[in-house]
Amino acid sequence: MKIQILDEAEQDLIDGFRFYEAQNQGIGDYFLDSLFFDIDSLQLYAGIHARYFGYHRLLSKRFPFAIYYRVSGKTVCVHAILDCRQNPMWIEERLK
């Protein structure tokens, strides 16, 4: 499986990094390492996650974030990486 991270999802990672790095130096790096580990797991487990708002949703193991993706053939396309503490209506609107 090939994994493609769209620009919007990449920006979500940058925003999350900045947020956690502002809390305590080094946490931002741990955030990125954790999320990339979760994203890499899609090479084996893509498509098994429940669908929300038309996307498969993988919940991060270490942070309150969800990875929204779609599978097309042998490619996993990550569309968004969003904080689960957001209003669900905001998340739904962001994914449209």
Distances (CA, A) of 88 to 23, 83, 84, 85, 93: 24, 10, 8, 8, 9
pLDDT of residue 22: 97
Residue by residue, pLDDT tens for the chain (96 residues) are: 899 999 999 999 999 999 999 999 999 999 999 999 999 999 999 999 999 999 999 999 999 999 999 999 999 999 999 999 999 999 999 998
List residues bridging with 77 in a β-sheet.
4, 70
pTM of the model: 0.95
**Which pair of tokens denotes residue 83?**
């904080």
pLDDT at 24: 95
What per-residue confidence (pLDDT) applies to 25? 95
* pLDDT in the model for residue 3: 97
